[in-house]
Every structure is written in structure tokens, then in C-alpha cells.
Chain A
């Protein structure tokens, strides 16, 4: 779980100056942060317990930066960036990573695209040579682009088309955003993925892949000084290729009508109901508000003592399970979600009514001191548990920095959680559990009728 609010610390980065914020985190790693002359931001997170490093490059580009009609392009390009450069042709990069005993992968979200390798620490410089080379040096031919498009279509099959629950979630998200591109699936709409081309990918690459749109994160058995030397000799030599326009996406109009979406599929054996509310993200929230939403989500849905589980599963015995979540790591909007899975013989309406009852109760009376304390302790403990994994820490920082937050904001997040009050939680519930800004999704079984044509 990651969430942070607006904060300013090492924010006005002097080119080539190292700004270390060691003293800020009680017990956490001494995170360093600096920016190169070409605009590349660098974050170093020491973890000296094992001779391993995690090397990640995050770009401030995701599916919400695609132009209309080209959904899936950010993710497709992510796949294509493994196809080689002029200097390092074909799959030489992947082969090298494998031979040195490394692991690699990449990921795409609405707001960011990231690439990472995990390797024995003495190989870090070699990775930097490869990764800095493909920052601007990608070469694509139709011979490699066309099979990869098929791979992405199979990925869409695996993740979405074969999975009724995923198809409902896609429909709910699409309905939640009336205007903002967060409504598009990150993987894209299948009819548009099918039409993506090499030219589309290269155009997108040239628009967004440049050191001044990227953040390098190195976590592991290193110190900032040695990383800086290696970075100067690799990434430091990559010229910025373009200027990046401000990320201004079409924003939501006032939302005035609750929406419902029903997805029916013959393969559904277990119906369920979910609701998502449009709420502020960590980046857009008023001070303290996203932290209050973090705690509120935990009080409602975290574990067997949560409000929803106690009411729906333990007391009323109408549901098999329940959940609540706050997804606040985003540039423009966050989402708050609740869900329930009815027991046999119970309708979705009964479960939804019970969820609404719990939300109304929290809006009217807030949460108890005990509930708040338990949830805050758990969230603060999560920040300690995260220190046990360099990959997790690297992801926290990468996601924060690509969605408009700062290193200091991440480090101070536990303190801001501790500062949340019951009043702030009640206010947040009252303000943001507004059905007019929500979509309720139902997953139901549908028996095909004779003669009816389905996909």
C-alpha cells in the first residue's frame, strides 16, 4: 500500500547536486536523490543485507497519456522495448541479463511505465550501459513487431477475455470516468490493440522516452556516491531528445448520476457486487485527506475486524467475503472501492443494502478510536515490513515520483498516517462516499438462450 500527500522537501533539484534525506526517516534507509543535467532524476535506496541490486527506470508515461483511438499503445511499446537497439541488437539485453543471473521485467499503469532488473551488485554498471542505450536508441522492424502484437493479444486473452471478473472491472472503470482517460484499460481495448503499428509505437517512443521524462531508482547493496559515478558515465551521456509537455489530461465534469453496470456471463458461478467512488489521489487531495482515506479503507475492509467483514460475514451472515480499498497512487484521481460476495440464497441487492448501511453508519458517526488505532498501527507497520524488500521500496518511490509526489512525501507517510484523526476520517467519509460519483458493478450468471449470438 502506498499513499502520500503533497509535500516539499528536496524538490528544487539542483542539477548534479546530491540531496540526502537520511535523517528524516526514523530507522528507514538513507535515501538519496539527485538530478542530472539532462533531466534524469536518480534515487538511491541502500540495502546492504545482500549483494544484490534492483535497477529500475520509470518513465512518466502511461495509458492515460495515449491519444484517443490508440489504447494499449503505452503497454505495447513496453513490450517492444525488449527488441533491441542499433548498438545492442535483438535480444542481447535479455540474454545478457539471463547470463549474469539477473531477473528482469517491465510494467505499465495509467501514469507510468517501468523497467527493472535485479542482479548481483557487481553487474550494475553493465545494466546501466544497456538501459541507458535503449532510452533513446530503440530499433523496430515489422518482423519483431507483428509477433509481439500477437503476444499482447494473448496477454489480453489471459488477463481479461478469459476472466469474467476482469471484464466487469474493465466496464466499471470505463463507466467511472466520463471524460478522463483513466477510463481506458491499461492493456487497451482489443479492437484498438489489433490495429497498433510499428509507426504508432515509434512515434509514441519519440514523444516520451527521453532522460528528462525518466526516473532511475537503484535499491540495494550500493551507496549514492558509487551510483553517481556510474550514472555519470552511462545515463549522463544520453542527450535529451525532446521537451515534455505538461501532463494535462481531460478532467472529469461534475458527476451527477450514480451509474450501474451489469456483466452477465455463463461462466459466472459466484455472483458479486462492487462499487467504486471517484475520490482524490494522494497527489490531488487536500492535506491529510488521502491519509484519512487510507485509514478509512482499512477500518472498512482490512481483516476480519473490519466493519464490512463483521457486519456482512460474521453478524448478518449474508456474505462469504467483503473488501474495501483506496487506490490513491495516481496523478489525477484516486478510487475508493467496496465489494461483497453473497452466500448462496442471498441476493446481490441484500449485500449491497448491507454495504450501504455500513457506509451510512460511518458517514453519520465516524469510526471508533480503537478501530482507528488498529488501522493506523497496521499501515505504519506496512512501512516497516516494506523495508525488508528492496524491490518493494523501489516501487514505492517509483510510483510516487511518477505520480507527482516527492521522496520526502514517501518518507513522511507513516508520520502523516499517525496524525490522522477520527474527525478527518468522518469528514472524508461524508465528503467522498457520494453515490453520484460512483459506479456499482454486478457480476451475474447468464444462461445463453437458444439461438442467441454471443461473441
Chain B
């Protein structure tokens, strides 16, 4: 199947509110573990999402990839169960459980039929409290990760992305690839994983979202059983707050591919910044996820330069960026880059129009409900709202926050976001990248 665009809109807002999503309960277990919960018994399922602050930025300096491998190992044996037995118990009850590492946190997701909840919660308890990190699965997963790293060496997207992040965050954990390097991955031991998991899997850096066919007593039991035995405090090292560096640079790398990959970005706006919502609206107008952004129109629709082109805002614990990407044929690479730069300069200087602002606000308000129509999406949103410290009534307030964005605020935010220049990373054929800038 072929989608018209890879980047369908993923927005966050509301006009018509899902009844269930406005009915968020804060539930605290007898043992003091908090979760945000939406209960709904329409479908006999339970979804649990959780996040521990930490992530790959907490990898030891010479052990890049630790968080990533720890999360891959979390379902490879726990307690008395070796990897095979643990997987068998999961699969016998069609329980879905996975974890993944981001830069700032490790996120987990459990999905089960309501009738299998006891088994699902017990396996989750074992995984988080008594992971085994046995040598056999570690070697298996290490080999898979090393193979993935080898593949990345000839992937234009991976090369472009790695170079962008390395240049934006030199000497900072955000500049290191989350998946590590061949050397760092080769060095990781079971003890490294144990040390890391003990530091990160704790109660004071934990956020939980639960959705589905479950009652309050069962939630209490689940929270205390699964999370109650974790250490009270995480042991996180401090990460410096930094803006991205390298603005104004064009990075180029040669790879013999018919289509050049272009990634670009610069400093963003923090989630807690008063201009955040205005920036969110301004980004939507420039390159957000609908078929009517300026970049979509100019790069794709009018000139046929690319299949996908987008920009997005990204906020981390210790930095914020805006980031965009496109891919275009070799002989038009420079043209695409210059067009994107011109559009970014134009919105920085002139801001959006009144009409664009009204349309963007309408989209961002009304489309919120679309992001809340499955248990998984709602559970993810419950965790994200806690991570961003938005308050449990955020969904009720959000439409008003968007509506309050004035044209002046949107112009100001566009200026702040887009006036500082771009760090650009390009990978493509020698001719394509030579036109863009010096090889470096």
C-alpha cells in the first residue's frame, strides 16, 4: 500500500472532546504510586503506558547504547524465567509488552486482553523488578544492534540525521547516537545493564497512564504490585541545558543514491515558554502535518521537488529545536534547499497572514480529538501530559490556549524560531552535494 504522504498529521488539540478523554482520573495507590487513568469498558482491553526519566542521555560516556540495549533486554528473562520461558508466558496470553529508549526517558507499553490482566501485570512486575540480563540474550541482541549500526552506515537518512545531531550537540549527550557506536555496543556488559536499570527504574521519575476495562481496586493492586517495589529515588546525572550549535553550517556527505536526503533545523522554543503555543501554530503554518503548509505547497505541490517535506517542533529536557526534512533528486537538491531557506526567511520576516493563522488555529483545535480515539493514543497522551507538566485539566484548557494566539504572537514566535539560520545536513551523490557546499 502506498500512502500519499508519510507524514500524516499528528496534532494535539480539541474542539469536540472525547467524553472519555475529558474524564481523566488521578488515582493514587495505597502504596503512593500515582497514575492518570481513563476507564472505558467498551472493548475488553487494558493499556498501560509508563515512562522513566533518564534515557540514552544517561548512558555512561564510554557505553553509548546502554539504555537502548537495556530496553531491548527487558523482556528477555526475569526472576525464575529465562528468556524463552518469559516470551512463552507473554505469547501464550497474547500480551504485548515493549520498552524503548529516547534521549530523555525510557518508555514502556503493556497491552493485554482484560481477561489476562493478572498474568500481564505479573510479567510486567518481574520485568521491571527482577530483569536477568542473561549473557545469551545479550549476545543475541548485541549482534542485532551491531548489524543495525552497519546498515546505518549506508543509509542516507541515518547518515544525515547523525551528522546533524553530532554537530548540533558537540560533547553533549544529545550529540551521541542513542543506539551507540560499534565500539561502545561491543563493550556493554550485563553489569552495565544492571547498573543502568537500578539508576533509572525508580519511583520518583515515573509517570503512568492507564486506559481500558479496569476498576479502581485493580488499578491500586496493579500499581503497588508492579511499581511499588522499585527504588524510591532514581539516580540521574545532571545534563547541561544547551541550545543547538552549528547554525549556518551546511554539512555534506557523499553516498551514491538517486535521491538526496536533506535535514535542517535550529533552536526551538521550550515547552514551558509563554510563546510555545504561538510557535506551535507558526510551525504548523510553515511545515506542519497537513496538505496545506507553505512548504508542502511550494516544494511539493507547485514544483514537484519532493514527496515529503515537513518541519516539527521538538522539546527535550535540556534543549529545544525545530527540525525539518525532505528528499529530492540529485540535480534539484540545491534548488530545494534554497527554496526551503527562502520560505523560512519569509515567515521569519513577515510572519503568517491573518487567514493562515485562523486556519491553523481551527485545525489545531479541532484535530485534537483525532489523537484520542484509541486506548494506545490516550495512554500515551496521559503520560506525555505528565511529562510536560501540563496539568490534569489541560485537555479542557487547550482550545482556549490555541485560540488566544494573536497574529502578533505568531509573528513574534516565527521570528524567534526561524530567524536564526539553519544547520543543514545533506547526503547524496557527489554532484548534488558539491553544489550545496564544501565536503566536510
B308 at the interface (CB under 8 A from A): yes
Closest to A54 in B: B373
Instruction: Provide the B354-392 mask, 1 if CB < 8 A to any CB of A, else 0.
Output: 000001001111111110111110000000000000000
Determine the distance from Cα of A320 to Cα of B137 in the docked complex, in whole angstroms. Answer: 11
Closest to A342 in B: B147
Pair count A-B, CB < 8 A: 216
A317 contact set on B, CB distance < 8 A: 140
With contacts A101-B365, A109-B1 taken as known, whether A270 is within 8 angstroms of B147 at the C-beta atoms is: yes
Determine the distance from Cα of A378 to Cα of B93 in the docked complex, in whole angstroms. Answer: 7
Stretch at the interface among A153-161, A205-213, A224-232, A434-442: A153-161
A102 contact set on B, CB distance < 8 A: 366-367, 370
A82 contact set on B, CB distance < 8 A: 4, 291
B44 to A157, Cβ gap below 8 A? no
B236 at the interface (CB under 8 A from A): no
A50 to B369, Cβ gap below 8 A? yes
B362 contact set on A, CB distance < 8 A: 99-101
B91 to A162, Cβ gap below 8 A? no
Stretch at the interface among A132-140, A141-149, A351-359, A404-412: A141-149
Contact-residue bracket for chain A: 35 or more
B8 → chain A closest CB, angstroms: 5
With contacts A50-B373, A109-B1, A151-B304 taken as known, whether A385 is within 8 angstroms of B92 at the C-beta atoms is: no
The B114-145 residues at the A interface (CB cut-off 8 A) are 140, 143-144
B151 to A381, Cβ gap below 8 A? no
B373 to A390, Cβ gap below 8 A? yes
Instruction: Provide the B291-308 mask, 1 if CB < 8 A to any CB of A, else 0.
Output: 110000000111111111
B296 → chain A closest CB, angstroms: 9
B21 at the interface (CB under 8 A from A): yes
A304 at the interface (CB under 8 A from B): yes
B4 to A304, Cβ gap below 8 A? no
Q: Which of A75, A304, A380, A384 contacts B44 (CB 8 A)?
A: A384
Closest to B20 in A: A49
With contacts A270-B151, A390-B373 taken as known, whether A99 is within 8 angstroms of B2 at the C-beta atoms is: no
Closest to A108 in B: B2
Stretch at the interface among B9-17, B263-271, B414-422: B9-17
A118 contact set on B, CB distance < 8 A: 370, 373
A98 to B92, Cβ gap below 8 A? no
B91 contact set on A, CB distance < 8 A: 302-305, 374, 378
The A297-325 residues at the B interface (CB cut-off 8 A) are 302-305, 313-314, 317, 320-321
B75 → chain A closest CB, angstroms: 9
A174 at the interface (CB under 8 A from B): no
**Interface class of chain A by DSSP:** mixed
Interface-central residue, A75, A82, A152, A384, by most chain B CB under 10 Å: A384
B292 to A95, Cβ gap below 8 A? yes
A67 at the interface (CB under 8 A from B): no
A389 at the interface (CB under 8 A from B): yes
A52 to B290, Cβ gap below 8 A? no
B94 to A381, Cβ gap below 8 A? yes
B154 contact set on A, CB distance < 8 A: 266-269
Determine the distance from Cα of A343 to Cα of B372 in the docked complex, in whole angstroms. Answer: 42
With contacts A151-B304, A269-B150 taken as known, whether A107 is within 8 angstroms of B3 at the C-beta atoms is: yes
Q: Which of B291, B307, B376 contacts A154 (CB 8 A)?
A: B307
The A254-272 residues at the B interface (CB cut-off 8 A) are 266-270
A55 → chain B closest CB, angstroms: 12
With A102-B366, A157-B307 given, can you name 5 additional A-B contacts, CB distance below 8 Å?
A103-B9, A148-B304, A374-B92, A378-B91, A384-B45
A-B contact pairs, 26 of them (CB 8 A): A50-B18, A50-B21, A50-B369, A51-B18, A82-B4, A91-B291, A94-B290, A94-B292, A98-B363, A101-B368, A102-B370, A106-B3, A120-B16, A122-B16, A153-B329, A158-B6, A159-B2, A162-B156, A162-B258, A186-B2, A267-B256, A269-B150, A313-B140, A314-B84, A385-B45, A387-B43
